Amino acid sequence: MSIPEPHSEAATPALSLQGISKQFGALAAVDDVTLDIRDGEFFTIVGPSGSGKSTLVRVLAGLEEPSAGALLLRGTDITRLPANQRPTAMVFQSLALFDHRSVGQNIEFAMKMKGVAPPQRRARAMELLALARLPEDYYDRAVTQCSGGERQRIAMARALASDPEILFFDEPLSALDYRLRKTLEVELKELHQRTGKTFIYITHSLEEAMVMSDRIAIMQQGRFVQIGTPQDIYQRPRNRFVAGFMGEVNILSIEETSGGAQFAGLGHPAPDTEGLYAVLRPESLQAGASGAICFDAEVVQRLLLGSRTQYHLRVGELALIAELGASASRPLEPGETTAFSFDPADIAWVNE
């Protein structure tokens, strides 16, 4: 029996970006981005405000023409294809729903434009309501009577109505409160699994990206500085910019002294890692002297974070953040000076 050849279609990227740039006057909002997005992938672009995320996704969706580069959908060049002729759909943060229409009318909008008959539209809308985890009787409800989370689910159902191959999401959850955002992150991930479609998602929150994505691209000034799985990015951030996106981390510089390389501010010998910085997560700092690198720190502030406690520490000029679990022997008091330590194995080394 012969082993079947891998299906050639399976290897064709769902979307291939080849040197995509978008120039606004002198500003390169998107600067020569090359990337293949796999069929069925949940791909997330993370970056600070102004880094070019929306511009890039608008180019991918056909809402904006690139200044340079080509865009291939399953190997076919669609660079100049108008948005309404692409098998893609977009979900925005600003919930662009028709407030004066019902939930059902909103979901059916694209189908109505295409001339789908009312009974088929209604049947499909019911499927989409179920897919978006909304009760059937929402069909006749006014959109204005729906909560923020429900409106976001309606927007997703509406985007799915045209049965797109690729869905784009531009910060769809950023206007919602924390708990609702957490719930919808999980629902979005499930929706991705249930539909099997390619999701291209934008957020400024690496934490949000971590929960949902197969791969993450970190964007800075129009370029991707790192692309990898959530685990890659978390364990091996490429540079200080990426490390800074992981929330509150300690970034230690290494200084050359007459006695060799040292952790700046700690006075401990460090590996001779020219030009690299040591990234140390708050939970990698331990109270007490059990770690290989030990120093005295003054407790500046104590913050309770549910099951963990965060301490803001000071070692001379150096500010550090430690997070201790419930097993820590006793709460440390602001003002006291006590031993802290860490193990070099817990360091992630990054470039400038």
Binding stretches for ligand ADP (CB under 6 A):
24, 27, 29, 47, 49-55
286 binds, among Mg ion, ligand ADP, none (CB under 5 to 8 A by kind): none
Closest CA to 125 of 139, 112, 145: 139
User: Within 13 Å of residue 341, how many CA atoms lie on the same side as its CB?
Assistant: 10
Specify the residue, 174 or 273, whose C-beta has the smaller distance to ligand ADP.
174
Specify the residue, 245 or 263, whose C-beta has the smaller distance to ligand ADP.
245
Closest CA to 195 of 222, 229, 161: 161
Nearest approach, Cβ of 222 to ligand ADP (angstroms)? 7
Specify the residue, 24 or 98, whose C-beta has the smaller distance to ligand ADP.
24
Q: Is 54 in the site for Mg ion (CB under 5 A)?
A: yes
Nearest approach, Cβ of 17 to ligand ADP (angstroms)? 15
What CA–CA distance (Å, rounded) separates 319 from 341?
14
Residue 181: CB partners within 8 Å, gap ≥ 6?
173, 174, 208
Nearest approach, Cβ of 213 to ligand ADP (angstroms)? 17
Stretch in the footprint of Mg ion (CB under 5 A) among 54-62, 108-116, 127-135, 257-265: 54-62
CA dihedral (306, 307, 312, 313) in degrees, to 10, reads: 170
152 binds, among ligand ADP, Mg ion, none (CB under 5 to 8 A by kind): none
Q: 3-state SS of the chain: helix, strand, coil percent to 5?
A: 30, 35, 35
Specify the residue, 44 or 54, whose C-beta has the smaller distance to Mg ion.
54
Binders of Mg ion: how many residues, by CB under 5 A?
A: 1
What CA–CA distance (Å, rounded) separates 150 from 155?
9
Nearest approach, Cβ of 284 to ligand ADP (angstroms)? 31
68-73: strand order across its sheet: 27-37, 15-24, 68-73, 76-77
Nearest approach, Cβ of 81 to ligand ADP (angstroms)? 21
Nearest approach, Cβ of 205 to Mg ion (angstroms)? 13
What CA–CA distance (Å, rounded) separates 233 from 237?
5
Q: Is 44 in the site for Mg ion (CB under 5 A)?
A: no
What CA–CA distance (Å, rounded) separates 284 from 324?
9
51 binds, among ligand ADP, Mg ion, none (CB under 5 to 8 A by kind): ligand ADP
Q: Is 152 in the site for Mg ion (CB under 5 A)?
A: no
**Contact (CB, 8 A) for 32 and 21:** yes
Nearest approach, Cβ of 93 to Mg ion (angstroms)? 8
When CB distances to Mg ion are compared, the closest residue is 54
**Contact (CB, 8 A) for 198 and 15:** yes
Closest CA to 313 of 336, 290, 345, 289: 336
Nearest approach, Cβ of 204 to ligand ADP (angstroms)? 7
Closest CA to 284 of 343, 350, 349, 327: 343
55 binds, among ligand ADP, Mg ion, none (CB under 5 to 8 A by kind): ligand ADP
Nearest approach, Cβ of 217 to Mg ion (angstroms)? 15
What CA–CA distance (Å, rounded) separates 343 from 101?
60
Residue 179: CB partners within 8 Å, gap ≥ 6?
none
Site string for Mg ion, 107-146 (x = CB under 5 A): ----------------------------------------
DSSP string, 47-78: --TTSSHHHHHHHHHTSS--SEEEEEETTEE-
47 binds, among Mg ion, ligand ADP, none (CB under 5 to 8 A by kind): ligand ADP
Specify the residue, 54 or 250, whose C-beta has the smaller distance to ligand ADP.
54
- Binding to Mg ion (CB under 5 A) within 298-317 occurs at none
Specify the residue, 33 or 293, whose C-beta has the smaller distance to Mg ion.
33
198 binds, among Mg ion, ligand ADP, none (CB under 5 to 8 A by kind): none
**Interface with Mg ion (CB under 5 A):** 54
